[in-house]
Amino acid sequence: MTDRSDVRLSLPSKGRLAEDAEAFLAACGLRIYKPNPRQYAATVPALPGLTVLLQRPTDIVVSVRDGSVDFGITGLDVTREYGGSNDEILVLHEALGFGSCRLAIAVPEEWDDVRSVADLADLVAGWDRPMRVATKFTNLAEAFLKSRSITGFSLVHSEGTLEIAPEIGYADCIVDLVSSGQTLKDNRLRLLDDGVILRSQAALVANRAALRERPEVLSIARTLLELAEAHLRAEDHVMVVANMRGDSPEEIVDRMLGQDVLGGLQGPTISPVIGADREERWQAVQIVVRRDDLITAIAELRAIGGSGVVVTPVTYIFEEEPDRIRAMMQAVAKAE
């Protein structure tokens, strides 16, 4: 067990991933406070017991693995590559909604007959030398190639620009992170149809021993997961409020549930509107709908007599205890 008393969260120190991680936490209600932009430490006012450190994505994984840091937000790709094999790291949330990319195999466009991993295996089987694969992800690349019965290969570790490796001759193909794929096209490379090794995005990871041995770490883990899950659930939804003529809530419910998207999460909330004209009965309806269904929802409300429609964003949707919290508690109990 560590002899320090603080709880530590490491975030990426620079680049797009750093900006997105900070924005994500702010959207979850966990704003990062960094008084000096040159410092590599910060705080979260909403969680006074938490110290924030800023590191490179790969260093975050190593720090969480060795226990010098309790939590990290970094790419799932580097977590799988550098996380080790002894279960020191527990992935609490593998899909925070930013930093999306694919780790994949890319081959020269001139290899016209190589469209799949099986085609690649057939090609390499006819060579009198190993296929050279340039990559930063040697562990993941080796495991994938072996799992597909490709054994005649050697890995060329490189931290530089990989796309030029086949062109200048120090590798035959590459395994690298791909977003849009435009850089591959610019360098006359092509993805294999089934060559995706890992689909990655930003993940929340934790030191398994810290969760098991330090109650304060487990408590903050629950808070982080609660807020992250509630925010991600709310992100694609909006709150819709409208007024509707009707003598009773039951009458309004019957109209709404006859539509396609007006059911809300568990049904609409309906309450009477108290106006100056007591002769005319109005009801206020409130539902949460998917953002993609908003235009349909407005059209359906109008069709059944809704007016004065107001739409507001939803910050959180808290429901039952998230599955990921239950999974974390099970993993911690299993490790004891």
Mean pLDDT (the chain) is: 93
pLDDT band at 336 (very low <50, low <70, confident <90, very high): low
CA 307 to the chain's CA centroid: 38
CA 39 to the chain's CA centroid: 27
CA geometry: angle at 185 spanning 182 and 187, to 5°?
115
Q: Give the number of other Cβ atoms within 10 Å of residue 252's Cβ.
A: 22
Question: Is the pLDDT at 246 greater than 90, yes or no?
Answer: no
The pair phi, psi for residue 125, each rounded to 5°, is -60, -25
Average pLDDT, stretch 229-240? 95
Alpha helices in the chain (DSSP H): 15-27, 57-66, 76-82, 117-125, 138-147, 165-168, 182-186, 208-213, 215-235, 249-257, 294-303, 323-335
For 68-121, write each residue's pLDDT tens digit: 999 999 999 999 999 987 789 999 999 999 999 999 999 999 999 999 999 999
Q: Give the pLDDT of residue 194.
A: 95
CA 186 to the chain's CA centroid: 28
Sheet holding 131-135, edge to edge: 153-157, 131-135, 173-178, 101-108, 189-200
pLDDT band at 174 (very low <50, low <70, confident <90, very high): very high
Token duo for residue 32: 């990062």
The pTM (predicted TM-score) of the whole model is 0.89
The pair phi, psi for residue 204, each rounded to 5°, is -100, 120
Q: Give the number of other Cβ atoms within 10 Å of residue 33's Cβ.
A: 10
For 274-331, write each residue's pLDDT tens digit: 865 666 788 899 999 999 999 999 999 999 999 999 999 999 999 889 999 999 999 9
The pair phi, psi for residue 3, each rounded to 5°, is -95, 5
Question: What does DSSP assign to residue 16?
Answer: H
Q: DSSP for 97-133?
A: SSS-EEEEEEEETT-TT--SHHHHHHHHHT-SSPEEE
In this structure, are residues 49 and 7 in contact, taking their beta carbons and an 8 Å threshold? yes
Higher-confidence residue: 141 or 265?
141
Average pLDDT, stretch 47-51? 93
Token duo for residue 261: 């998207």
Domains annotated for the chain, with CATH where assigned, are: 7-98+201-234 (3.40.190.10), 101-199 (3.40.190.10), 236-313 (3.30.70.120)
